[in-house]
Chain A
Amino acid sequence: GNSVTQMEGPVTLSEEAFLTINCTYTATGYPSLFWYVQYPGEGLQLLLKATKADDKGSNKGFEATYRKETTSFHLEKGSVQVSDSAVYFCALTGASGGSYIPTFGRGTSLIVHP
């Protein structure tokens, strides 16, 4: 079946540091890939997405590129802010039995210090 593996956290950075959160996946066919962010006490929000190989999703300074050859979708940001502190989930939606089933990673907590 489909699966998503992302790096365990917490990731602790100082403000303005470079961020990478690794995500790799296993899926049949051609899944769509997503990053969601969950702020404390809230539901998940879509951060960015990519629907085919070599697509780059970007939003709010975050970027991720759909790499089919390495089955990866790593999240990057050049300069993090304290307000980026949250839990980040890598996810895919892939075909399964005639429907599209979402599969999420376990989430990576990011803590940014001033």
Chain B
Amino acid sequence: DSGVTQTPKHLITATGQRVTLRCSPRSGDLSVYWYQQSLDQGLQFLIQYYNGEERAKGNILERFSAQQFPDLHSELNLSSLELGDSALYFCASSVVQGEQFFGPGTRLTVL
């Protein structure tokens, strides 16, 4: 158990809809990272937050947004969903530069 929790575990929705994925980092970790894992693209870094502020952006689409709240949990919002957004979404947290602890992931299926 990494200490990082993600909800929900599975999510099935339709094209055009909006969903919110939630992540709670390990106790004491200030950084939260979001990743998308798909068969054709591998593991893609989306965005990083540090203590409530956006710190770095990766390959995140404009339809996607994230935030980190004062209690350090984070949410990833995906809107106008397309079939190609179906993937595993992972959250990771860290306190030491670069060493990350991953949650179990949310499997999103867009029908």
Q: Which residues of A contact B (CB under 8 A)?
A: 32, 34, 36, 42-46, 49, 89, 93, 96-97, 99-107
Contacts and interface: CB of A to CB of B under 8 A. Distances in A.
Contact of A99 (B43, B56, B90, B103): B56
A32 B98 contact: yes
A83 B100 CA distance: 23
A97 B57 CA distance: 10
Interface of B: 2, 4, 33, 42-43, 45, 48, 55-56, 58, 90, 92, 97-105
A42 B103 CA distance: 8
B56 A45 contact: no
Contacts of B43: 44, 89, 104, 106-107
A102 B45 contact: yes
B56 A44 contact: no
B90 A43 contact: yes
A96 B56 contact: yes
A91 to B, nearest CB: 8
B99 A103 contact: no
A55 to B, nearest CB: 13
